[in-house]
């Protein structure tokens, strides 16, 4: 067998991530490699930290990109803050909350779970009762934007409850960062991780994280060594610290991926993060109008719906996987399947980062309408794209 170059097909990425990447970011990837301790590279690292401060809306000194995907960012928050014998309250309303439980248990700690139905936000009353019943718990962990269901929970209120119980907060903002407001300082979040391939529209494989001074204090006072050498923030800080001259080798940074992250964050700053939030909302409104025209329902209540991740109920009798396959083969459009409890029951359409544009909404709706009518699905009306454009073309 001869193997030659791999050339990916042309796609529009409208699933739960990765999202489409701007050519400016792809071009940044192709710039020459320089040493990861080169003074010029270190200046760029400092700029990335500054841009992440803006993106996370924080002044936290310990704010940096972990050299691995969002799941490693998740792990870095848990392994640094949680020790054997601790207990942590974990809110579960989808797949990613379940992964938090796995993380807590692998730290040798106990997870106390607050379970909510998939497709609904975290119930604040239940959380408050659990905090009161477990005053010794060290932290409250929750997913801000549940990508598996398309639900956003009230992070400010959750954090307030945790503070009242004198507990740390650990927040997953993989899907929210860059798409909807993430206010680390205002909400007093202690540890937060995100990913680059969702609303930041960068290459997959990097995880921005931020830790409050309170969290740093907890990390410094640990009784046990952090069980992961690679993710030990005490060591990583030696590499990402602000003292350029004393920066020491920990691992070889993914140099080109960091060029790409720098470029995507510059683009976000140029757009203005508030404008990015508005753009995500407007494109969601367009998609919603088109789906309504076809008689398709979003499973999440409007009050807690994520604009960047739309979970759509598969109509009775429709082959969910066939529709996704046809979207991909006939139009080159990737949409997502349901996960866990929602497998086979929903499609997930992501409008994240560079995939949140009128072009994406229009083409996706036209393609979906075409595929559904071709397989004989009963549709309430037609010209979903036209309905979306009534919103998308407004100034």
17, 179, 208, 353: which one contacts ligand PLP (CB under 6 A)?
17
Of 204 and 315, the one with the shorter C-beta distance to ligand PLP is 204
**Whether the Cβ atoms of residue 105 and residue 130 lie closer than 8 Å to each other:** no
15, 70, 179, 338: which one contacts ligand PLP (CB under 6 A)?
70
The rounded distance, in Å, linking the Cα atoms of 291 and 384 is 7
Among the listed ranges 168-176, 237-245, 316-324, 356-364, the one in contact with ligand PLP (CB under 6 A) is 168-176
Among the listed ranges 29-37, 65-73, 121-129, 374-382, the one in contact with ligand PLP (CB under 6 A) is 65-73
Quote the least distance from Cβ 386 to ligand PLP, whole Å. 32
Among the listed ranges 1-9, 69-77, 285-293, 358-366, the one in contact with ligand PLP (CB under 6 A) is 69-77
Quote the least distance from Cβ 350 to ligand PLP, whole Å. 10
Q: Which long-range contacts (CB under 8 A, 24 or more apart) does 41-44 make?
A: 41/253, 41/255, 42/244, 42/247, 43/244, 44/258, 44/259, 44/262
Which residue of this chain has its Cβ atom nearest to ligand PLP in the complex? 70
What residues from 183 to 242 belong to the interface with ligand PLP (CB under 6 A)? Answer: 195, 204
The rounded distance, in Å, linking the Cα atoms of 255 and 34 is 7
The rounded distance, in Å, linking the Cα atoms of 195 and 201 is 9
What residues from 89 to 118 belong to the interface with ligand PLP (CB under 6 A)? Answer: 96
**Whether the Cβ atoms of residue 286 and residue 388 lie closer than 8 Å to each other:** yes
Quick one: tokens of 152? 């956003």
Other C-beta atoms closer than 10 Å to the C-beta of 266 total: 16
Q: How, if at all, do strands 333-337 and 12-14 pair?
A: parallel
Rule CB under 6 A: say whether 392 interacts with ligand PLP: no
Of 165 and 195, the one with the shorter C-beta distance to ligand PLP is 195
Task: Summarize as ranges the residues that interact with ligand PLP (CB under 6 A).
Answer: 17, 69-71, 74, 96, 143, 147, 172, 174-175, 195, 204
């Amino acid at each position: 067998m001869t193997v030659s170059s791999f050339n990916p097909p042309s796609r529009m990425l409208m699933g739960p991530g990765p999202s489409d990447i701007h050519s400016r970011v792809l071009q940044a990837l192709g710039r020459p490699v320089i040493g990861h301790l080169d003074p010029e590279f270190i200046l760029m690292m400092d700029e990335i930290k500054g841009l992440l401060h803006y993106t996370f809306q924080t002044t936290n000194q310990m704010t940096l990109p972990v050299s691995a995907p969002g799941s490693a960012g998740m792990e870095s928050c848990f392994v640094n803050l949680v020790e054997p014998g601790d207990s942590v309250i974990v809110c579960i309303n989808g797949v990613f909350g379940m992964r938090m439980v796995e993380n807590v248990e692998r730290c040798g700690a106990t997870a106390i779970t607050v379970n909510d139905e998939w497709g609904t936000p975290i119930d604040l009353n239940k959380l408050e009762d659990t905090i009161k019943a477990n005053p010794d718990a060290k932290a409250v962990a929750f997913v801000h934007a549940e990508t598996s269901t398309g639900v956003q929970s009230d992070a400010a209120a959750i954090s307030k409850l945790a503070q009242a119980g004198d507990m740390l907060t650990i927040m997953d903002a993989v899907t929210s960062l860059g798409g909807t407001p993430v206010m680390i300082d205002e909400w007093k979040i202690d540890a937060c991780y995100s990913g680059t391939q969702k609303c930041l529209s960068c290459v997959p494989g990097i995880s921005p994280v931020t830790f409050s001074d309170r969290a740093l204090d907890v990390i410094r006072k640990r009784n046990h060594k952090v069980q992961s050498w690679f993710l030990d923030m005490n060591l990583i800080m030696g590499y990402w610290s602000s003292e350029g001259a004393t920066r020491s080798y920990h691992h070889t940074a993914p140099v080109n991926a960091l060029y790409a992250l720098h470029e995507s964050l510059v683009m976000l700053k140029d757009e203005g993060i508030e404008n990015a939030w508005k753009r995500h909302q407007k494109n969601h409104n367009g998609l919603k109008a088109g789906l309504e025209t076809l008689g398709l329902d979003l499973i999440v209540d409007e009050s807690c719906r994520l604009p960047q991740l739309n979970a759509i109920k598969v109509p009775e009798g429709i082959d969910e996987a066939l529709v996704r396959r046809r979207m991909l083969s006939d139009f080159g459009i990737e949409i997502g399947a349901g996960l866990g409890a929602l497998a086979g029951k929903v499609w997930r359409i992501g409008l994240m980062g560079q995939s949140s544009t009128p072009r994406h909404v229009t083409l996706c709706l036209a393609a979906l309408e075409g595929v559904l009518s071709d397989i004989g699905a009963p549709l309430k009306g037609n010209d979903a794209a036209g309905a979306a454009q009534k919103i998308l073309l407004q100034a």
